[in-house]
Amino acid sequence: MKKQNFDSLFVPTYKRDGAPIVKGKGSWLYDADDKKYLDFGSGIAVNALGHAHPALTSAIKKQAAKVIHSSNLYFSQAQIDLAAHLLKNSFGDKLFFCNSGTEANEAAIKFARKKASGTAGKYHVLSFTQGFHGRTYGALSATPQEKFHAGFKPLLEGFHCSELNDIKAAKKILDSHKFAAVIIEPLQGEGGVNPVSTEFLKFLREYTEKNSIALIFDEIQCGMGRTGTLWNYQQHKVVPDMMTLAKPIGGGLPLGVVICSENFSSALSPGDHGTTFGGNPVACALGYEVLKIVSAKPFLKEVQQKGSYLKKKLTVLKKEVSGIEDIRGAGLLIGVQMKEDPVTVVHECKSKGLLVVKAGRNTIRFMPPLTVSTSEIDKAVAIFKSVISKK
């Protein structure tokens, strides 16, 4: 297509180039110039079932023919179905639907502070280095990365940061204030695909339980089968008080969730929080289909196998080239830490037909659809190798 300046239409919050994406099928995307891309970004971990999955396209048509929106002044059958299935397949007693990950984290922080509001000064929130929880002010204040703060200060009062996986440092900060909540990604995504140790999570669980502090697991990126179990907390055998979800749960439409234990959901009353669009019936209908497919044990076993296959291929590549520092992650959320800023590598991968996503300072995320084939993994690694071998 004729080259156009699409940037003239939008507030410059993203750096984008190339022809617009116009269609997708499985693990592939196609642009208006009919160039195809192997999608190992999955819309930033959203498209768990790839593109144009028949169960999702059918669910959209069926639900849209019934009702697209009715508001949260009334019950929606699609909401009820998804809520029941989510609670059945998690630790939760009740849940709250919203529109996005940042909204889910905002809600969880509010719920924790409401629960703690009977104790004077008990409003502080602890998060951890390189964590990412969103871009609205509460979630941004819980995101201890200066690059997201620049130009937007002052942030909200009462937010603190501690070193990830450092029990001594975390205890020192926790002992110094009255905390309402601790929020953590059990496997960090945007911050660089950084694993959290089971020992550290167990410490946080014991401390927060003893001191009546909400332990919030942000599984917006690492949940919904992405790491080979339905929820990442299951791999650590550490159960939080609240868990926030988004990205894949809506099947590609905006949907966020806060799953709560009764101890925290009981602190809320009508009017304490709300959302006009949260839990949209079409998004919930999609979410039900995604959860039904992803939660099946054979499906999750395949994710584990394909994740191990991808990690092994990348580990072999690390020995063959000089630019890779480390390979880490779980399931189909794999981070390749480069020795230099990989922004050029990401761009050149795109030019060769592979979409990957930068994370943290120098890490590239490989997040293909959970339905990816091993032959597609082979092709992705081959393209990646061809790019970094020139460095």
Domain boundary among 247, 263, 294: 294
Is the same domain home to 122 and 255? yes
Q: From 88, 92, 82, 84, select the one nearest 241 (Cα to Cα).
A: 92
Are 94 and 262 spatial neighbours (Cβ–Cβ below 8 Å)? yes
Is the same domain home to 97 and 44? no
Is the same domain home to 317 and 213? no
Domain boundary among 294, 312, 330: 294
Are 105 and 138 spatial neighbours (Cβ–Cβ below 8 Å)? yes
Is the same domain home to 357 and 340? yes
Q: What are the beta bridge partners of residue 333?
A: 330
The C-alpha atoms of residue 282 and residue 309 are separated, in whole angstroms, by: 35
The C-alpha atoms of residue 208 and residue 91 are separated, in whole angstroms, by: 17
Q: From 219, 274, 261, select the one nearest 107 (Cα to Cα).
A: 274
- From the CA atom positions of the chain, what is the Rg in Å? 21
> Tokens at residue 363, please?
């890490």
Residue 112 domain-assigned? yes
Is the same domain home to 252 and 305? no
Q: What are phi and psi of 317, to 5 degrees?
A: -60, -40
Is the same domain home to 80 and 200? yes
Q: Note down the domain range covering 104.
A: 67-294
- Tell me the whole-structure pTM to 2 decimals: 0.97
Residue 234 domain-assigned? yes
CATH at 361: 3.90.1150.10
Q: How many domains does the chain have?
A: 2
HSE at residue 111, side-chain half, CA atoms within 13 A, is 31
The C-alpha atoms of residue 245 and residue 257 are separated, in whole angstroms, by: 5
What is the pairing mode between strands 242-245 and 214-218?
parallel
Residue 62 domain-assigned? no
The C-alpha atoms of residue 51 and residue 355 are separated, in whole angstroms, by: 14
User: Three-state secondary structure along 69-102?
Assistant: CCCCCCCCHHHHHHHHHHHHCCCCCEEEEECCHH
Domain boundary among 234, 268, 294: 294
The C-alpha atoms of residue 49 and residue 15 are separated, in whole angstroms, by: 26
> Tokens at residue 391, please?
């460095």
Q: What are the beta bridge partners of residue 159?
A: 125
Q: What are the beta bridge partners of residue 365?
A: 335, 357
Residue 60 domain-assigned? no
- From first to last of its 391 residues, the chain has per-residue pLDDT tens of 666 789 899 999 998 989 999 999 999 999 999 999 999 999 999 999 999 999 999 999 999 999 999 999 999 999 999 999 999 999 999 999 999 999 999 999 999 999 999 999 999 999 999 999 999 999 999 999 999 999 999 999 999 999 999 999 999 999 999 999 999 999 999 999 999 999 999 999 999 999 999 999 999 999 999 999 999 999 999 999 999 999 999 999 999 999 999 999 999 999 999 999 999 999 999 999 999 999 999 999 999 999 999 999 999 999 999 999 999 999 999 999 999 999 999 999 999 999 999 999 899 999 999 999 999 999 999 999 999 997 6
